[in-house]
Structure 1
Amino acid sequence: MIVYPNAKLNLGLFVMGRRSDGYHLLETAFLPIPLCDTLELELSDAAEDELIVTGGVETGALQDNLVLRAVRALRQLHSFPSVCLRLTKLIPSGAGMGGGSADASFTLTAINELCSLGLSTEELEAIALTLGADCPIFVRNQPAVGRGIGEVLTPLALDLKGYHLTIVKPPIHISTAEAFRGLLPLKPAETPIEELVARPVAEWRDCLFNDFEPSLFPHHPVLSEIKDELYALGADFALMTGSGAALYALSRQPLQLDSLRRADYFLYEGKL
């Protein structure tokens, strides 16, 4: 079986408060996008599960990879044969696009189908949540508003068909822990994000924000420079996604990106 775990973008990300256990409460709109890894799964007679990662994207220690963690989480609930998994990475890590989370959730749904485990969507989402707060979004893999720590999902009617998507990530890795540690005191958004994204995209610049930008941009000024450049090139809307370090732009026409084509930058151009 071959599946294609896709990245996501955050259309706005507001920090609404903090729980007693230290986790921050968020409000965001998730948008799945057609930037994908490739994950091949094959049942085997081997004594152990095997994961092979290629693609040149740094993913950390193999045993800590979210794909293997997803397999182990399923094994706590069900018995099934060993699995050989081959993951070809394209989604950069440390980008705020949920690449590792997507790999994990697609592993869950693929094994559920491959091994006929019979788990419901809700059960898969519950398992995904044990792997990471933004893993559940990739189970249904549809636009949604996320609240709580990002796991309380509400379907979102959103049509961006025809928009050109540009993603730029400089050679910076921002860990989620670093991003949350530096958060500045912020005033929660007063207008529900559903109402904000219902406005024309050209108006998003004045109402959709990422609350991580004010704290991260001073430490990584290249991020602010890229965002400014995307607007200068004609973007209708530009924002950092998640806790960074990728920025994206939505535009009616393709952007001329010569100024951003650098050997150490990740650059993606596509159409929604």
Structure 2
Amino acid sequence: MVVFPNAKINIGLYVTEKRPDGFHNLETVFYPIELRDILEITEIKGERGSCVFTSTGSPIDCPPEKNLVSKAYSILASEYELPSVEVHLHKIIPYGAGLGGGSADAAFMLVGLNRLFSLGLNEEQLMGYAARLGSDCPFFVRNHPVFAFGKGELMEAIDLSLKDYVMVLVKPDRGVSTPEAYRGITPRAASFDLRELGKLPVCEWNGVVVNDFETSVIPKVPEIQEIKDTLNALGAVYVSMTGSGSAVYGLFDRSVEVGETFPGYFVWKSK
């Protein structure tokens, strides 16, 4: 079985309070995009209980046994008698970018195993398993635009479409760890109700729909501001860092040629 885990962007991201458990509450909109990894799951006949993981493509920042794909298998294998599998991940979504690539791989692994071995798990059950892997993993089971809150695991459907816009996504050659990004954050109440995002024209998002992490991350990775400035100069109607960084996206209401504008950086453009 081959599945294609997709990335997401954050549209707005407010860190609203520090929780007693050490995590933070936030408010954001998760929006799926077509940038995808490739995940192949193959049953090993006659064996049970093991996951042989390999990868190619972009580097992964952890050993195979700690990868979220392997952990997703372990969670289901602890409750179901799963056959052993060989899993190969061709990594295209860069890590340390705020795009949720690792979370997407894990969620698609759960969904793929459910289908491949006819486990009969519904969406709610799959989201429950996904929540054990990471706060934004349940989103990739649903995979539709949502207003997310709590740690990011609580979601409400939102009516929002960017199909009329071209997206240019750029990641510099430096990533940002989530703990590092949070160190510079001062929680505050959201300045805009993102549940109303679909009612606000995209051309009016600048200065209203903001990502709180930009203030803590850009001083550490000044390339992010340079990318934002360049995308604005190319004519983007809205530009923002996604997640805790370091990827930046620009939305354009017309076709745009990027060419060699960002040499050495990861660049992706929607169709």
Fold conserved (TM > 0.5)? yes
Give 3-state SS (helix, strand or coil) of 1:13's partner.
strand
Gaps of 5+ in 1: none
Give 3-state SS (helix, strand or coil) of 2:197's partner.
helix
Q: TM-score, normalised by structure 2?
A: 0.96
Letter in 2 for 1:31: Y
Check conservation: 1:57, 1:90, Cα contact below 8 A.
no
Runs of 4+ in 1 over 4 A off after TM superposition: none
Give the whole-Å Cα distance in 1 for the aligned partners of 2:123 and 2:117.
Answer: 15
> CA distance change for structure 1 residues 25 and 186 in 2, over 3 Å: closer, same or farther?
closer
Per the TM alignment, residue 186 of structure 1 is displaced from its structure 2 partner at its CA by: 4.5
Aligned to 2:192: 191
Check conservation: 1:196, 1:207, Cα contact below 8 A.
no
Aligned to 1:243: 244
- 1:178-217 maps to which residues of 2 (within 5 A)? 178-183=180-185, 185-217=186-218
Per the TM alignment, residue 190 of structure 1 is displaced from its structure 2 partner at its CA by: 4.1
Q: Deviations over 1:41-61 (max 9, x none)?
A: 111134632111011323321
Letter in 2 for 1:75: A
Q: Deviations over 1:154-210 (max 9, x none)?
A: 111112112101000001111111111121x24311432011342000001121000
Check conservation: 2:28, 2:148, Cα contact below 8 A.
yes
Residue in structure 1 matching 2:92, options 87, 90, 93? 90
Aligned to 2:119: 117
Aligned to 2:31: 31
- 1:141-160 maps to which residues of 2 (within 5 A)? 141-160=143-162
Letter in 1 for 2:16: M
Q: CA RMSD in A?
A: 1.3
Give 3-state SS (helix, strand or coil) of 2:170's partner.
strand
Give the whole-Å Cα distance in 1 for the aligned partners of 2:197 and 2:224.
Answer: 24
- 1:255-270 maps to which residues of 2 (within 5 A)? 255-258=256-259, 260-263=261-264, 265-270=265-270
Question: Once the two structures are aligned, what percentage of the paired residues are identical?
Answer: 44
Give the whole-Å Cα distance in 2 for the aligned partners of 1:91 and 1:38.
Answer: 10
Give the whole-Å Cα distance in 1 for the aligned partners of 2:260 and 2:27.
Answer: 33
Provide the aligned length of Structure 1 versus Structure 2. Answer: 269
Q: Deviations over 1:202-250 (max 9, x none)?
A: 0011210000001111121111111111111100111000000100011
Per the TM alignment, residue 84 of structure 1 is displaced from its structure 2 partner at its CA by: 1.1
Q: TM-score, normalised by structure 1?
A: 0.95
Check conservation: 1:101, 1:135, Cα contact below 8 A.
yes
